[in-house]
Structure 1
Amino acid sequence: MSKQVRLQQMYSVMEEMLNSGGTVNFNPRGYSMCPTLRNDGDRVVIKKTNSLKKYDLPLYIRPDGSFVLHRVISVNKDGTYNICGDNQWVIEHNVKHSQVVGVVTTIERKGKTFSVNNPLYKIYVVFWVAIRPIRHILFGGIRKLKKAIMKNIGKKNI
């Protein structure tokens, strides 16, 4: 039996583990990182980091205290980060490193483990970030096409 606990409740333990050189794993919740992270049992492993680079997946704390796991899409000259969920279009600007709890090193899905250093994962991430400005057009068009097809199939079955 497992119990779901909010990250806020575990933060002091997480911080202690990460500061002592350990790792922390948890199941991310929500859909903002789809399709990279799914809400149906994916697990991530994070470690402490001194700096982030483009494409990293940091766990950070917003000023309102909420924990967020999104992707770095650029690093600013002042050392802050511009971050966005893989399933989102709005960029969160100027996230400070002091807000960063850790960075994802590994993704676990259905018994398989994927390192963020895997070359295929890196190619996927570069592509996914590159098409960010047009994803909503691409996928919005695909959704409309699917809807139109399903509507026509429904009419033929009547």
Structure 2
Amino acid sequence: MTNVDCLNHEEYGNKCSEPVKDYSIEEVKVHEGYIHSAAAPKDIALVRLSRDVEYSDFIRPVCLPTAKEVDLNLGVELTSSGWGTGFTEKPPVVIKKKFTVWLRPVDECNKLKIIQTSHRRVTDDHHCVGSKSAILLNATARAEVR
């Protein structure tokens, strides 16, 4: 599974934390609700590789809960990790980040100046997350697991 933008190596580069391991892609399934836009709703894809991978510190299976198994009430503690870029990070980070955030009301993200001046909007299709006292990240797109 990957963020759709991770498939764009021209924009984000191909720097890795360990030597590159090449795997051919057999099939890519982009979320049926994904629309390439500034809001990037449903920004997720499943990638089937043509052969099994060898696990390492950087390659591990991921088990995702179903929507019924997840507590997404405001204030719930969440763990997030990954590469990529935010509104102010150029170029994208090349070291995987892991951090704890808390689910915040969507309208709090929309009050951020960086959201208001970017012509982007956080909708109910996104999660607004931050620290217990402030918004740290503007939004992450929701992609339900069924």
| TM-score, with length taken from structure 1 | 0.32
Could you say which structure has the higher helix fraction? Answer: 1
| TM-score, with length taken from structure 2 | 0.34
